[in-house]
Amino acid sequence: MILFHKIHKISVLIIIIIVHSTLNIIGQPLSLIVIDPIMENEIRGIASTYQGQKVITLPDEGNPLKLIAKELKESNYDEIHLFLLTKQGSIIFDEINIIPENIQNFSGDFSEWKSITKQEFKIVIHSENLTSGQEGLFLVKKITEFTGREVIVKK
């Protein structure tokens, strides 16, 4: 009888742990973590920070915005985190540099994100200096306009 009670207690504890773990996973937003190859060495270990999330490193070639769109189509993500090189007023992927003078050229790529993401979707750009001037604020405004989604710059 004592053995039965011990087994029962252990079973209940296991069920509680499974339920608790499941609730923690359910409570987390589903994120796509995108790392540009230029930044890969600087942010080693970032994948461990986002356990349970999809982490990709962009290939060296190709349009990164189209590659991201392809990834976004694969799942119903809540947010995307972009780890890429930025300068004041400039978003730099390995293949392209998005600045106020050419952002209109990428409007179609960003607009595609709107059609494949839910309304609450958030775009998080990890940058120390993107919005330190008017040009960066303009870029964020245009990306918000093209995607129809909230854009957050996180330092």
pLDDT confidence of residue 1: 58
CB of 66 within 8 A of CB of 85?
no
pLDDT confidence of residue 48: 75
**What are the structural domain ranges in the chain?**
29-154
Residue from 36, 72, 33, 75 nearest 54 by CA: 33
Rounded to an integer, what distance in angstroms lies between the CA atom of residue 139 and that of residue 16? 47
Helices 134-147 and 107-116 cross at an angle (nearest 10°) of: 50
DSSP output for 73-120: HTS--SEEEEE-EEETTEEE-SS-EE-TTTGGGGHHHHHHHHHHS-TT
CATH level 3 topology of 29-154 = Rossmann fold (3.40.50)
- Over its length of 155 residues, how does the chain's per-residue pLDDT go in tens digits? 565 444 544 443 344 344 334 434 557 899 999 999 988 877 777 767 888 899 999 998 999 999 999 999 999 999 999 999 999 999 999 889 999 999 999 999 999 999 999 999 999 999 999 999 999 999 999 999 999 999 999 99
Predicted TM-score (pTM) of this structure: 0.81
**Residue 55 backbone dihedrals phi, psi, to 5 degrees:** -115, 125
CB of 97 within 8 A of CB of 90?
yes
In this structure, the number of other CB atoms found within 10 A of the CB of residue 151 comes to 20
Tally of CA atoms within 13 A in the half-sphere of 49 that contains its CB: 8
In this structure, the number of other CB atoms found within 10 A of the CB of residue 79 comes to 19
